[in-house]
Amino acid sequence: MDEFFIARITTKGQVTVPIELRKVLNVKEGDYILFEKKGPRVEIKKVLPPNDFEDFAKPIRERFQREGITPDDIEAAIKWARSAQGESKK
């Protein structure tokens, strides 16, 4: 049976994971969780912290290479997000 939980997103885009889900996922402060988009749904999973930054960054780097995303694209996206956030505060 499906269960539903509601959480509010803060102005900084943060969300509190309801305690029932934290218990099911066995997550605590400092743990990592993964948001995986599957069509119109998102799955949340606990992940083990990377032993090494390279291990953590490898799948991200591979996806960026596969999709042709460059460091300049990332910088442009960050600038856009920062300017968009600044605009929403006005």
pLDDT of residue 40: 92
Instruction: Note the maximum CA span of the chain.
Output: 45
pLDDT band per the 50, 70, 90 thresholds, residue 19: very high
The tokens of 8 are what? 């509010």
Rounded distance between C-alpha atoms, residue 85 and residue 88, angstroms: 5
Cα 37–Cα 38–Cα 39 angle in degrees, nearest 5 = 110
Residue-wise pLDDT for 34-68, tens only, equals 888 999 998 888 887 666 677 778 888 899 999 99
Rounded distance between C-alpha atoms, residue 80 and residue 64, angstroms: 18
Closest CA to 25 of 44, 42, 9, 8: 44
1-48 to CATH, choices 3.30.420.10, 2.10.260.10, 3.20.20.140, 3.40.50.360 = 2.10.260.10
Rounded distance between C-alpha atoms, residue 87 and residue 84, angstroms: 5
- All CATH 2.10.260.10 domain ranges of the chain, comma separated, are 1-48
